[in-house]
Chains A and B, each alone.
Chain A
Amino acid sequence: MKASRELTESDFQDAHDDLRSLKQALESTIVGQEGLIDRLLIAFISGGHILLEGLPGLGKTHLAKALAGATGLKFSRVQCTPDLMPADITGSEILIRDPQGEQRLDFQRGPIFAPLVLVDEVNRATPKTQAALLEAMQEHQVTHAGITHPLPSPFWVMATQNPIEIEGTYPLPEAQLDRFLVKLNVEFPSEAALLSMLDISLDDEPSEHLQPVLDLERLVSIMATGREIVIADRIKQAAVTLLLATHPDTSGGTSHFRYGASPRGLQALLKTARIHALLQGRLQVDFDDLARMALPVLRHRVLLTIESELDGINSDSILRQIIQEWRSRI
């Protein structure tokens, strides 16, 4: 690992440059989603799983494919349906007859055994299938018939879900949502972005022809460099303060949330803030890094009260308010 050796200024500069190259590659295929690409890339380099939420046709799957293409990673896709079984994702034992004529049970690995897995419409899978998937996400391994099968490293899951088609779905419980490092909302592109999109993807799918700009080794090296970014104690303290502000039972906490963000959310906040700083070419995390990453990191880790939900209050708006107040206090 590169982190174990003495890092130089050029190492950081190279990591920063590589990140910029990766970003440019993604932006060349996905038009009008610069902010989304930034956050996706940050979560990706942080080593976390990503939940993409947006209306159909906004390019979620396309984005995942582009990322896999730009990094040269093996990519697999799972389309979730209510009849999808856990074994369909993790794999199952099948009876195999070898050339010698002997029969034996062999574990056939499922689509989860890939560095980058796209789980489309994850909320259409049953809770049992979701649990199997999420266990793999957390443990980075699959246990079948008493045998543990490690997943590739690094390992990313990109799950998508549709916010409007609720019927026949199984919304992910909070405990499982917490396993996603970030939840990114895919916004509808602007008029100019739509026009640009027509120019590059009317008859073709650019993500399928994207050449890798990084290999796996380089990707791991950048991830290791990202972990070396300095976080001052004062910044850590500020992150804790921000996290506690989402809790209803702490002083200065909001009353709109039933439950605030978890300690895992705090880890996620600082991990993503480090990569955000690296993407900006800095060796240290700033308060602005926390502020920028707070919303995608915290939005799926808080739970609105019934009253707030009935009032039509959105957790994003409350979080934005909390972040703004927190930033002004520092």
Chain B
Amino acid sequence: MSETLFKTLPRLVRRQQRRLWSAQLLARTALPLGWLVIILFSSGLIHQGWLQLNSPLFFTLALLPPALYLSVTAIRQMPTTAEGATAADTQLKAHALFLSAWEITAFRQIPSSTQKLLLARAAAELPRWQEQLRSKPKQRPGPSLLLGITLAILGSFLLLLPGKVTQKALESGSSDDAKQQLSKDSETIDPVAAINEVLLAEKKAVTLQAATQRAKAEGAHPEEEQTGSPSGKHPPEEGSESPMAHGANEKNRENPAARNIVVSEVGENPGESAERHSGTASGLDASVTTDQTTGQAAPFTQQRYQDISLDSDHKSQAFNRHTGQHLTTTHQPSETGLSSADRVTTGNAAEQTLSTSMTPDQRVLVDRYFKQLSQFDESKP
């Protein structure tokens, strides 16, 4: 029996020591959990309500100090075996019988007559002690801990979800930072395809102008054969898509990249682009430079192309000013309020329906472009 006592008591003490350690750590979670909740919840609220925050940074800020604190606490607050024995004794309400017996067994003293009697009493109590220590329920987190964890999780969600502030800012079009933030998340397109799309639209405009002029001429000589219509039988009607434009749009639909029309010079210093086009608003990032990218003949001079530019309200979605490498599109509705089926008028009366898959920004760009075209007077030198 004594040998059993010598084996069992140290084992019970070690178990109690581990429990004490975990209990101490649990008791010390109030401070780090408070920190975690405050940082996560407050940053989550700020992220959702006021300011777009860098989520990984705030997660690190919220998690790192508590983790360090608990690690240091775990090392420094590790209870001794004597403390474990004391805790077990207190829990068992053994009035130091457990503690005294454990000391005798742990230090392997030669027991005196009283100590032998004490060990005998301890041995008689041992089954009850084992039962009580084994049946001790595991520590459950208190309500405050549960509340803290819930708030921390809620804060994490708030921080992870995209902030409303970005959308609001983009809707109002006033926040340059918000646009920039969104441009990071937006889709990157192929700039060459975008320029090709502009050029295609250019060609359509020229064709329409020629067709309009021919229509005027035919109006003067109605018996002459109509020209400018590929079918030769169905002149373009208002509200319908011309066959040529229809073909181009079909082509664009097949090529998703080509649907993005917002254009910018690639590989250039963004500031340089803005400087070269002095007629644009300050901070201009995008411009149309058709001759440099395609080399195709166009009915306009380079100077005229340079006059076609985007204003600052529509440029930042298209260009990442930090990298200068990507053309981007947005899904933000444009200020013009044009839907995908809206028509853009070019020249005098001709109408051209643009691709339904264009983004509002792209439509605005093309709209402005065609307005410039319509104002162009070829009679002037």
What A residues does B121 contact at CB under 8 A?
283
The proximity string for A residues 212-237 relative to B, scoring 1 for CB distances below 8 Å and 0 otherwise, is: 00000000000000001110111100
B95, A284: Cβ atoms under 8 Å? yes
Q: In whole angstroms, what is the CA distance A233 to B83 when docked?
A: 12
CB neighbours of B90 from chain A (8 A): 330
The 8 A CB mask of A11-45 against B (1 = contact, 0 = none) is: 01000000000000000000000000000000000
Given contact pairs A234-B85, A234-B86, A330-B86, A282 touches B97 in the complex (Cβ within 8 A): yes
Are B114 and A234 within 8 A (Cβ)?
Answer: no
Which secondary structure dominates where chain B touches chain A?
helix
Decide: A233 and B118 in contact? CB cutoff 8 A: no
B89 smallest CB distance to A (angstroms): 9
Bound state CA distance, A233 and B100, in angstroms?
A: 8
What residues of A have a CB within 8 angstroms of the CB of B99 in the complex? 232, 234-235, 284
How far apart sit A282 and B117, CA to CA, in the bound complex (Å)?
Answer: 11
| Minimum distance in angstroms from B171 CB to a CB of chain A | 60
Q: Counting CB contacts under 8 A, is A251 at the interface? A: no
Please, how many angstroms separate the alpha-carbon atoms of A218 and B315 in the complex? 107
CB nearest neighbor in B for A12: B117
Q: Are A229 and B114 in contact (CB under 8 A)?
A: yes
A234 to B117, Cβ gap below 8 A?
no
B301 in contact (CB, < 8 A): no
Number of B residues with CB within 8 Å of any CB on chain A: 18
| B96 with A235: CB separation less than 8 A | yes
Query: Residue on B with the closest CB to A228?
Result: B114
Contact A288 B113 (CB under 8 A): no
Q: Interface digits, B304-338 against A, CB 8 Å rule (1 contact, 0 not)?
A: 00000000000000000000000000000000000
The answer to whether the Cβ of B174 comes within 8 Å of any Cβ in the partner chain is no
A7 touches B (CB below 8 Å): yes
A295 at the A/B interface (Cβ < 8 Å)? no
A89 to B85, CA, bound (A): 51
Is A88 close to B, CB under 8 A? no
The verdict on B103 contacting chain A, using a C-beta distance below 8 Å, is yes
User: Which residues of B have CB within 8 Å of A12?
Assistant: 117
Interfacial chain A residues near B113, Cβ < 8 Å: 6-8, 228
| CB–CB B82/A284 < 8 A | no
- Per the bound structure, the CA–CA distance linking A185 and B95 in Å amounts to 27
A100 to B114, CA, bound (A): 58
A288 to B100 CA separation, bound complex (whole angstroms): 14
B residues 72-88 with Cβ under 8 Å of A?
Answer: 82, 85-86
Interface check A285, CB cutoff 8 A: yes
B115 within 8 A of A: yes
> A230 to B114, Cβ gap below 8 A?
yes
CB-CB under 8 A from A283, the residues of chain B are 97, 100, 114, 117-118, 121
Q: Is there an interface contact between A284 and B86, defined as CB atoms closer than 8 Å?
A: no
A285 touches B96 (CB 8 A): yes
Residue of A nearest to B80 (CB): A234
Kindly report which residue of chain B lies nearest to residue A231, judged by CB atoms.
B100
Within the complex, what minimum Cβ distance (angstroms) separates B172 from chain A? 60
Residues of B within 8 A of A230 (CB): 100, 114-115, 118
Query: Which B residues are in CB contact (< 8 Å) with A284?
Result: 95-97, 99-100, 118
- Of the candidates A9, A232, A235, the one having the most CB atoms from chain B within 10 angstroms of its own CB is A232
Tell me the minimal C-beta distance from A226 to chain B in angstroms.
11
B95-148 interface (Cβ within 8 A of A): 95-97, 99-100, 103, 112-115, 117-118, 120-121
B14-41 Cβ-contact flags toward A at 8 Å (1 or 0): 0000000000000000000000000000
- Chain A residues within CB distance 8 Å of chain B: 6-9, 12, 228-230, 232-235, 280, 282-288, 330
Could you list 14 A-B pairs, sorted by A, with CB under 8 Å?
A7-B113, A8-B113, A229-B114, A230-B100, A232-B99, A233-B82, A234-B82, A282-B96, A282-B97, A283-B114, A284-B99, A285-B96, A286-B96, A288-B95
Known: A8-B117, A230-B115, A234-B99. 15 other contacts (CB 8 A): A9-B120, A228-B112, A228-B114, A230-B114, A230-B118, A234-B82, A234-B86, A235-B100, A282-B96, A283-B118, A283-B121, A284-B95, A284-B118, A286-B96, A287-B96
Listed in ascending order, the chain B residues whose CB lies under 8 Å from chain A are: 82, 85-86, 90, 95-97, 99-100, 103, 112-115, 117-118, 120-121
